[in-house]
Amino acid sequence: MPVVKGGVWTNIEDEILKAAISKYGLNQWARVSSLLARKTPKQCKARWNEWLDPSIRKTEWSRDEDEKLLHLAKLLPTQWRTIAENVGRTANQCLERYQKLLDEAESREGLSLTGADGAETKAPSADDVRRLRPGEIDPDPETKPARPDTIDLDEDEKEMLSEARARLANTQGKKAKRKARERQQEESRRLAALQKRRELKTAGINIKVVTRKPGHMDYNADIPFERKPAPGFYDTSEELSRNEKERANFDPKKHQLASAKRKGDEDDEEANRKRRKNEKKDENSLSKAAIQAGKMQRIREAEQSSKRRELNLPAPQVSEGELEEIVKMGMLGEKASSMARESDNDATRGLVSDYTKLNNSAPIRTPRVAQEEDHIANEIHNIKALTNIQSSLLGGENTPLAEGSSSTGFDSAAPRKQVVATPNPLATPLYTGNLNATPLRPGETPMRTPRDRFALNTEGGSLMPGATPHDMKVHNLAVRQQLKFGLASLPKPKESEWELEIPEEQAISASTGDDLVEDAAEKDRRENERLRAIEALERRRRTQVMQNNLPRPLVYDCSAIAAVTKDANPEELIAYETSLLVANDLAKYPVPGSTLIGKAPALIAILDADLENARMAIEAETQPLPDREVLRKTFDSRNSNTTLLGLGCYDSDDEDEVDAVVRRAITSIQESLVDEAGRSAKLEKKLSLHLGGYQNRQKTLSANLAKATAAAREASNVLSAMKLLALSEETAINRRLAALREEVSVVSRREREAQEDYRRAKGELADLRAAVRVNGDSAV
């Protein structure tokens, strides 16, 4: 029976997994899982990544992490792997924390299941609902703590543990031997290099150990982009630059020559004295080394200390003179107010307020900062609202969400931070002169304009930033009550009659029409229509050649236009005007590649009405004339009218006269028909004599043309067929030539082979004959 792998992880399995990973690494999960009889490679990898990895944070979630988790869940819904990388937790931890935050919000808002008090009747909590019931299997055991080991292990666990111990303790295999041999070789190379450096150092040769590649940096020994602060308390950049210049100008050769001339050769006593001095120094080398180390330490501390800079204060915004003027103005104001208060006029004393309370105020105390917005609660509220939202097909208003500064926003992957600044009591007057004053009196309310004894700025006032909704409600009620008292104290209105005059509607409509602002889209449409009309009118003013886009000459010589006089004939005038139009068209609307030689004369401006009249006159003149037969019939019909001119408007009372008139008209029409028929016959006979030959010739030519067309079409078909046959023959010729060449090569090869066989057979025959002859001679 196959074994189903999986289930709860035990402490033994966790320890085996960690030991196997330490040996095989994080890529060979198949070898790791071979040490665990009940786990697959995928489960081993998941256990390491979800629980055993030392980089996994299992501490309590902070408020910043909760805020970032909810913000990323809003930006990347259900993408817990991506969210886990940004939060610094595992995907399962993020999901569990997300569900826990939603459950806590439901319990705070009272949206969870409820029931009667008592352990048996109380509704289950969210943890109780998600807890596994007896008999259920944990679908994700890799994220749970390991089960403690039992005292008596079963046989499978004992076998698995013993096999894991044997395999992990195997140090005599091929790979283990190779690894040990490599470690021994590396150690021998290190000792050899160390011994070589010691011997070279003893010989006076120091070798620097270079462990980095050329062009790279050793981050263990050096600090990248290091900028060391200057040692000491003062700026010595000028001295350093001067020293660098002197060092660049220093010549060692000249210095050696000067010192040799000045000192001369040293004698042996000086050398012995220096040698004895050096020997004494060597005796105290340890103490001097300690002193030198202390000096270097003090130098390093001095280098790390920051430079003392001068105290640079900004320039004063108020000068001494301005301060004196302010003090003088205050003294003048105080003197004027004291004089007004000492006055005998009550109105003067009532209109002047006491401005000295601000100077006697209590010491300034930093006001309380307004409470921050709870982004976590707002984001949970948004998630719940979006989860319980109805379908958009039902309509209605959108679900209200916490947006703006109340949420984490959509600016970036990091949630929006709240910037809370401490209020400035000097900029916002939050204190009053009298600490025991009632807060709702004019001039004593916080956040009001100071010294507002007469309540001139009560509309712009507001409560303190830390005021609660209850305080705002009480304030509004007090303001309404005060307003009611003020209205009640007003005298009753007198009984009087009022007359109202309703203005005329026309005046109102006129005034509203003037104030009406035209829509920008309507204005643009009207402007576009006007421009299109102007463009169409300009297009109609062009010549017919430009309107119909007809071809124009590429090269035109304006000097060839000959001037004409008024007495010239019409043909010259028309040619002159045509030349002017061609030249002006090339000048205004040039053709690509065209050349206009000279300057085109200017055209005379003609009004649109005159152009339209000229077009109508030309249209009337160019109409085709009617047929002569039509004109003759019209003329005959008018001449054959029996009604005299001027008598057609009178009716005849005698019917016989009317019948006689009709008969005469019919007779006249019949006679005219007979005459027309005879005349037509004569004309037909005459035309047949003149045009009969042409008609016969046209029939003959039409028949010949049809035959020639059929012959040309047949010849074209034959030509196409012959061309196709020629192409196919060219291809076939190549193919047949290749086949014939191949046959010829085969025949030639067979002939050579036959000739070779014949030559070989002939040689064998000659050999046989020679052998027979030799044998015959020997026999004789």
The model's pLDDT over 546-579, given as tens digits with 9 standing for 90+, comes to 777 778 777 777 766 656 555 667 777 777 778 8
pLDDT band at residue 599 under the 50/70/90 scheme: confident
Provide DSSP, 148-189: PPPSS--HHHHHHHHHHHHHHT--SSHHHHHHHHHHHHHHHH
Distance of CA 389 to the CA centre of its chain: 31
Predicted local distance difference test score (pLDDT) of residue 570: 75
Contact at 8 Å (CB) between 332 and 324?
no
pLDDT at 182: 92
Q: Higher-confidence residue: 77 or 377? A: 77
- Is 703's pLDDT higher than 70? yes
The predicted pLDDT at position 325 comes to 84
User: What pLDDT shows up at residue 455?
Assistant: 59
The overall average pLDDT reported for the chain is 77
Span 534-556, average pLDDT: 79
Polymer length of the chain: 780
Comparing 776 with 604, the larger pLDDT belongs to 604
Position with higher pLDDT, 58 vs 367: 58
* Residue 659 pLDDT exceeds 70: yes
Residue 690 has pLDDT above 70, yes or no: yes
Please state the rounded mean pLDDT for residues 228-249.
83
- 146-155, 530-539, 623-632, 714-723 — which is least confidently predicted? 623-632
CB 29 within 8 A of CB 44: yes
More confident residue, 494 or 83: 83
Q: What is the mean pLDDT of residues 398-408?
A: 74
Angstrom CA distances, 4 to 1, 17, 40, stand at 9, 19, 10
**pLDDT of 82 strictly over 90:** yes
Please give the residue that has the higher pLDDT: either 208 or 525: 525
How large is the average pLDDT for residues 520-529?
85
pLDDT at 26: 93
Give the count of alpha carbons within 13 A of 89, CB side only. 22
pLDDT for the residue numbered 534:
87
pLDDT of residue 239: 86
Residue identified by tokens 């191949």 is: 742
pLDDT at 370: 53
- What pLDDT score was predicted for residue 152? 85
pLDDT value at 262 more than 70 = no
**Band of the pLDDT at 353, cuts 50, 70, 90?**
low
Lowest mean pLDDT among 169-173, 185-189, 615-619, 708-712: 169-173
- Please report the pLDDT score of residue 12 as a whole number: 93
How far does CA 269 lie from the centroid of its chain?
86
Q: Which pLDDT value is given to residue 279?
A: 63
The pLDDT of residue 535 is: 85
Q: Which of 552, 551, 548, 531 is nearest to 540 (CA)?
A: 548
Contact 665, 642 (CB under 8 A): yes
Percentage of the residues of the chain whose pLDDT score is greater than 70: 72
Residues of the chain with pLDDT > 90, as a percent, come to 21
Q: Tell me what pLDDT residue 423 has.
A: 53
Tens-digit pLDDT profile for residues 148-170: 988 888 888 899 999 999 888 87
Average confidence (pLDDT) over 379-388: 79
Q: How far is the CA of 176 from the CAs of 15, 181, 326, 579, in angstroms? A: 22, 9, 92, 107
Lowest mean pLDDT among 214-223, 565-574, 719-728: 565-574
Distance CA 77, CA 98 (A): 11
Q: Cα(691)–Cα(683) distance, rounded to whole angstroms?
A: 12
Residue 525 has pLDDT above 60, yes or no: yes
Is residue 7 pLDDT above 50, yes or no?
A: yes
Q: What is the reported pLDDT for 20?
A: 93
CA atoms of 465 and 368, how far apart (whole Å) = 8
Given pLDDT bands bounded at 50, 70 and 90, which one contains residue 372? low
The pLDDT assigned to 616 comes to 84
Q: Does 437 have pLDDT greater than 60?
A: no
Number of helices followed by number of strands (H, E) in the chain: 24, 2
Judged by average pLDDT, the poorest of 306-320, 432-446, 677-691 is 432-446
pLDDT for the residue numbered 440: 43
**3-class secondary structure, 596:** strand
Whether pLDDT at 632 is above 60: yes
pLDDT at 511 over 60: no
